[in-house]
Structure 1
Amino acid sequence: MILNIINFAGSLCFLLYGMKLMSDGIQKSAGQKLQAALAFMTGNRFVGLLTGCILTMIIQSSGATTVMLVSFVNAGLLSVVQGVGVIFGANIGTTVTGWIVALGSSFEIKDYAIPIFGLGYILYILKRFKSKEGLWLAIMGFGLLFFGLGGLSDFFAVPQVKGFVINFIGVVNNFGFISYAIGLLIGIFLTALIHSSSAMSAIVIGMAVAMSKEGNASIEELNEFWRFGAIMIIGSSVGSTVDAILAAIGANANAKRTAAVHVLFNVATVIIVLIFFRPFMAFVELISPGHNIVYRIAMLNTVFKVIGTVIFIPFVNQIAAFVSILIKDDKEDEANIYKLEFNERMAIDSPEGCVFRAQNEVRVFSDRVAQMFDELQAGLSNFNSDFVTGGYERIVLHEDYCDQMNEQLTQYLVRCTHLHLSDSAKDNAALMMQLIAEMEAMADGCLNIAYQLKKAIEKEMTFNQEDFDRLLPYFELARQLMYFIYKNVARIQRLTPEQFQFASELEQQIDDERKALKKIARKRLESGSDVRSELLYMDIIRQIEKIGDRCFDAAGDLR
Structure 2
Amino acid sequence: MSVNDISSLFSFIGGLGMFLYGMNIMADGMQKTAGSKMSQFLGMLTNNRLMAVLLGALITAIIQSSGATTVMVVGFVSAGVLNLTQAVGVIMGANIGTTITAWIVSMNQLGDAFAVFQPAFFAPLLIGIGAIFMLFGKKQRMKTAGEILVGLGLLFIGLDFMSSSISPYTDAPVFSEAFRLLGSNPLLGMIIGALVTALLQSSSASVGILQTLAMNGVVTTNAAIFITLGQNIGSCVTAMISSIGGSRTAKRAAVIHLTFNVMGAVIFGVISFILFSLHPVLAAHNITSVQISIFHTIFNLTNTALLFPFANQLVKLSGVFVPEDKKEPAVTDEESETMKHLDERIFESPAFAVETAAMEVVHMGQITMENVRRAMDAVLTKNANEVEDVYKTEQTINNMEKMLTEYLVKVNNLSLTERQKLVVNDLFYSINDIERVGDHAENLAEQAEYMVQHNISFSETGESDLHVICETAFNSFKHSINARQKGDMDDVRKVSQYEDEVDTLEEELREKHIERLSAGKCDPSAGVVFLDLISNLERISDHAYNLAGYVKDEM
- Name the TM-score class by shorter chain: 0.7 to 0.9
Alignment partner of 1:276: what SS? helix
- Give the equivalent residue in structure 2 for 1:157: 167
The worse-fitting range, judged by mean Cα deviation, of 480-489 and 101-110 is 101-110
- Give the equivalent residue in structure 1 for 2:73: 69
Question: Is the Cα contact below 8 Å between 2:256 and 2:314 reproduced in 1?
Answer: yes
The worse-fitting range, judged by mean Cα deviation, of 447-456 and 137-146 is 447-456
- Give the equivalent residue in structure 2 for 1:452: 447
Question: Is the Cα contact below 8 Å between 2:477 and 2:541 reproduced in 1?
Answer: yes
Shift of 1:394: 3.0
Alignment partner of 1:78: what SS? coil
The code of the aligned residue for 2:45 comes to T
- Give the equivalent residue in structure 1 for 2:280: none
CA–CA distance in structure 2, aligned partners of residues 345 and 423 of structure 1? 22
Question: Is the Cα contact below 8 Å between 2:26 and 2:148 reproduced in 1?
Answer: yes
Question: Is the Cα contact below 8 Å between 2:221 and 2:286 reproduced in 1?
Answer: no
Shift of 1:281: 7.7
Alignment partner of 1:158: what SS? helix
1:14 is the counterpart of 2:34: no
The code of the aligned residue for 2:197 comes to T
- Give the equivalent residue in structure 2 for 1:252: 247
CA–CA distance in structure 2, aligned partners of residues 451 and 72 of structure 1? 40
- Give the equivalent residue in structure 1 for 2:371: 372
1:180 is the counterpart of 2:223: no
CA separation of 1:12 and 1:343: change in aligned 2, threshold 3 A: farther
CA–CA distance in structure 2, aligned partners of residues 23 and 281 of structure 1? 37
CA–CA distance in structure 1, aligned partners of residues 70 and 7 of structure 2? 36
- Give the equivalent residue in structure 1 for 2:55: 51
Residues 86-485 of structure 1: matches in 2 within 5 Å? 86-105=90-109, 106=111, 107=115, 108-128=118-138, 131-159=141-169, 162-173=172-183, 179-211=185-217, 225-278=220-273, 293-324=288-319, 326-328=322-324, 330-332=328-330, 335-338=333-336, 340=339, 347=347, 349-380=348-379, 382-384=381-383, 388-389=384-385, 391-485=386-480
Question: Is the Cα contact below 8 Å between 2:379 and 2:444 reproduced in 1?
Answer: no
The worse-fitting range, judged by mean Cα deviation, of 546-555 and 413-422 is 413-422
Shift of 1:336: 5.0
Question: Is the Cα contact below 8 Å between 1:29 and 1:134 reproduced in 2?
Answer: yes
Q: Deviations over 1:31-55 (max 9, x none)?
A: 3322x13432312211111111112
- Give the equivalent residue in structure 1 for 2:508: 516
CA–CA distance in structure 1, aligned partners of residues 531 and 423 of structure 2? 38
CA–CA distance in structure 2, aligned partners of residues 546 and 78 of structure 1? 38
The code of the aligned residue for 2:154 comes to L
Give the aligned CA root-mean-square deviation in angstroms: 2.9
The code of the aligned residue for 1:40 comes to G
CA separation of 1:188 and 1:376: change in aligned 2, threshold 3 A: same
CA–CA distance in structure 2, aligned partners of residues 131 and 456 of structure 1? 58
Identity rate of aligned residues, in percent? 28
1:537 is the counterpart of 2:530: yes
CA–CA distance in structure 1, aligned partners of residues 315 and 374 of structure 2? 37
The code of the aligned residue for 2:329 comes to K
The code of the aligned residue for 2:536 comes to Q
Question: Is the Cα contact below 8 Å between 1:366 and 1:490 reproduced in 2?
Answer: no
The code of the aligned residue for 1:153 comes to S
Shift of 1:161: 6.8
Shift of 1:395: 2.3
- Give the equivalent residue in structure 1 for 2:281: none
Shift of 1:321: 4.4
CA separation of 1:8 and 1:291: change in aligned 2, threshold 3 A: closer
CA separation of 1:489 and 1:281: change in aligned 2, threshold 3 A: farther
CA–CA distance in structure 2, aligned partners of residues 83 and 264 of structure 1? 13
CA separation of 1:376 and 1:438: change in aligned 2, threshold 3 A: same
Alignment partner of 1:251: what SS? coil
Shift of 1:28: 2.0
The worse-fitting range, judged by mean Cα deviation, of 407-416 and 190-199 is 407-416
CA–CA distance in structure 1, aligned partners of residues 430 and 453 of structure 2? 34
- Give the equivalent residue in structure 2 for 1:286: none
CA separation of 1:444 and 1:129: change in aligned 2, threshold 3 A: closer
1:37 is the counterpart of 2:30: no
Matched residue count: 530
The code of the aligned residue for 2:212 comes to G
CA separation of 1:271 and 1:454: change in aligned 2, threshold 3 A: farther
The worse-fitting range, judged by mean Cα deviation, of 12-21 and 95-104 is 95-104
CA separation of 1:264 and 1:331: change in aligned 2, threshold 3 A: farther
CA separation of 1:255 and 1:460: change in aligned 2, threshold 3 A: farther
CA–CA distance in structure 2, aligned partners of residues 350 and 110 of structure 1? 32
Q: Deviations over 1:104-155 (max 9, x none)?
A: 2245433432222122112222234554211110011111111122223224
1:525 is the counterpart of 2:517: yes
Q: Which sections of structure 2, spanning at least 5 residues, go unmatched? A: 278-284
Shift of 1:318: 4.0
The worse-fitting range, judged by mean Cα deviation, of 273-282 and 532-541 is 273-282
The worse-fitting range, judged by mean Cα deviation, of 420-429 and 357-366 is 357-366
Question: Is the Cα contact below 8 Å between 1:247 and 1:346 reproduced in 2?
Answer: no
TM-score by structure 1 length? 0.86
Alignment partner of 1:277: what SS? helix
